[in-house]
Amino acid sequence: MRNLGKLAVLGITALGLALAGPQDNSLVIGASQEPRVLAGDFLSVISNQAIKSEIEQYLFAPFIGFNADSQNFPVLATEVPTLENGRLRVTDIGGGKKRLEMDITIRPDAKWSDGRPITTEDVAFYFEVGKAKGMPVLNPDFWERVNVRIKDARNFTLIFEPAYYYDTYGPINTYAPKHIMGPEWERVKAAARGLDPQKDAEKLNELYRNFFIKFSTPQALNRGAMVYSGPFMLRRWVPGNSIEMVRNPNFPIKPEGGESKYVQKVVYRFIQNTNSLLVAVIGGSIDATSSVSLTFDQGRSPQLVRRAPGRFDIWFVPGAIWEHIDINKFENCQVVKDLGLNDKRTRQAILHALNREGLVKAFFDGLQPVAHTWIAPVNPLFNPNVKKYEFDLKKAEALLAEMGWRKGPDGILQRTVNGRTVRFEIEYVTTAGNVIRERTQQFFAEDLKKIGIAVKINNAPSAVVFADDYIQRASECKWTGMFEFAWISSLAEDGSLFQYRNLNTGAIMVPTRENNYQGQNIGGWRNDEFDRLTSQAVLEFDPERRKQLFWRAQEIWAEELPALPLYFRANPYVVRKGLVNYVASAYAGGFGYPGWNAWEIGWESRGAVKKWDQAKYALSTR
């Protein structure tokens, strides 16, 4: 009976997947990563995964959205603040700085999924939590600059001082459900009252983490611990398998022709191995792929392309997705000190030894550009004239020889450090199951072996390596060498990924115990001129002067190499024929994910009206 029951369940599941799509007005999206948490972690304290941000676009709507044309549009706000309508005010405050005030009115019909109105109490709550002492936020600079002034239940003003050039860019989603999370937050505040952010950082961190976890784990969300404001709400999360979302009847925006003509259920299927995901796509059980799914070469694979005509479209969306290798530069880690990773010559040598041009030619037919800094070519601030590191083993060997490295009897470099003989063996971490990254590791390991560097591969699932207690803990030697992943950037470039200190606010951007692991400069690089240039650039509202400052910052970065730039990705998307408005662009929704307009996604055969054309923002295999 037990075996029969299991087979029956499997049969029903397979049948349900086979009938996905227009037949039952649902959408099945395939992804190679699964979020660690969702929803309640509204400051991304627990996890900052791209897949988390993508899925949350279905669950939470911004006040102001950012469409595929990189334009603001109102979602839960009545209108976009502009100088023309008087809702945007810019004031000179001296010293080359400005103050910006932005008046926002919440739609009168904006509600949570439980029917409660969304009000400025939810806005005030968001800011109270974000500004709590010692809160381990990823962007401390933002929290130092921003304040809110509440006028009444539906009207509030965001105040930025000093203002940055990008503060008016969407999305703006500064609210959280006070009626759900507020009582627990009061208990957290009481427990934190006597704690000092410097002396008691670990205790505060644990308190805050536990607070967000109560409203964000699969178990909590399956119990109904959270409410939602977006076009969908979470119905079920099966860890390791799928997340199912259904239409939120309280979402106020109704697409043309009525919401019944658009997708009623969205299912994210998680298939960690991208080869297996490709099989599922070809087999027809996936309607569309996520921004975190197939690799570029899989999107162009013959077995997929020859099955595409009449079944699905294959798109390649150029974006600001920067594949790179971060380097641990914290010399309190003995391995870092032994290998000299905090010396730019080591990093320069490693980059000279990586055949990046060969990799993009072999894996991508040369269609993904080799990166030379962290700013993407699609960004107006991109500097094409920085120092470049061609594949040159002789230059790599010469730089390492300067530092005392000589090949040992096994062909691996060694040198003497404080009377000890150390061997050049470096850890190399990436996301397990991502085929292209795992192949990249093997490709580069062979390159490095040629100059006498041994590679120790140490991979784990994305939910592990992108958890704050791993990626943010290089200072505690949680990872000690090279960490390959992608940063997805927006038009709001500020250099904060590599700032040590933001000079406008004083915020330290390197995550350590002392600042309760705030910031995203995870490798611990410090360059005072870079900090000065980028801190000045964000205050500059003149595009040409801002560009000059960022160009110089990129020149410094390319000389110092705090991270090893690999290439900029064009994301492949496979979309079943007849699905409309499932559209990605370089900066749609802020970071380029599909789903920024989730309420408009639907099947033409069910009456959905096409509003957005992916062909405008992507290249096709056709």
Domain boundaries, the chain: 24-39+216-319+572-620, 75-213, 320-489+561-568
Give mean pLDDT, residues 534-545.
94
Amino acid 189 reads K
Largest CA distance in the chain: 78
Give mean pLDDT, residues 369-373.
95
pLDDT tens sequence across 284-315: 999 999 999 998 889 999 999 999 999 999 99
Fold that domain 75-213 belongs to in CATH:
Dipeptide-binding Protein; domain 1 (3.90.76)
Give mean pLDDT, residues 52-69.
97
pLDDT of residue 617: 92
Give mean pLDDT, residues 116-128.
98
pLDDT tens sequence across 192-231: 999 998 889 889 999 999 999 999 999 999 999 999 999 9
pLDDT of residue 4: 31
Q: Domain spanning 24-39+216-319+572-620 has what CATH number?
A: 3.40.190.10
Strands, DSSP E only, in 212-264?
232-238, 242-247
Q: Which residue has the higher pLDDT, 435 or 104?
A: 104
With cut-offs at 50, 70 and 90, classify the pLDDT of residue 622.
low
Q: Is the pLDDT of residue 10 over 60?
A: no
- 242-246, 324-328, 617-621: which range is least confident on average? 617-621
Residue bearing tokens 């109270």: 128
Q: Of 325, 585, 379, whose CA–CA distance to 493 is shortest?
A: 379
pLDDT tens sequence across 394-428: 999 999 999 999 999 999 999 999 999 999 999 99
Q: Which residue has the higher pLDDT, 19 or 264?
A: 264
Q: Is 328 exposed, middle or buried (0-12, 13-18, 19+ CB in 10 A)?
A: buried
- Mean residue pLDDT across the chain: 93
pLDDT tens sequence across 491-526: 889 999 999 999 999 999 999 999 989 899 999 999
Note whether 554 and 495 are within 8 A (CB): no
Cβ-based neighbour number of residue 274 at 10 Å: 22
Q: Is the pLDDT of residue 19 over 90?
A: no
Q: Name which CATH class applies to 320-489+561-568.
A: alpha beta
Do the domains 24-39+216-319+572-620 and 75-213 sit in the same CATH topology, yes or no? no
Give mean pLDDT, residues 260-288.
96
Residue bearing tokens 């000045």: 536
% of the chain surpassing 70 pLDDT: 96
Residue bearing tokens 């299912």: 267
pLDDT of residue 7: 26
Q: Of 83, 205, 44, 74, whose CA–CA distance to 134 is shortest?
A: 205
Q: Is the peptide bond before 171 cis (omega within 30 degrees of 0)?
A: yes
User: What tokens appear for 244 in the block?
Assistant: 């199912």
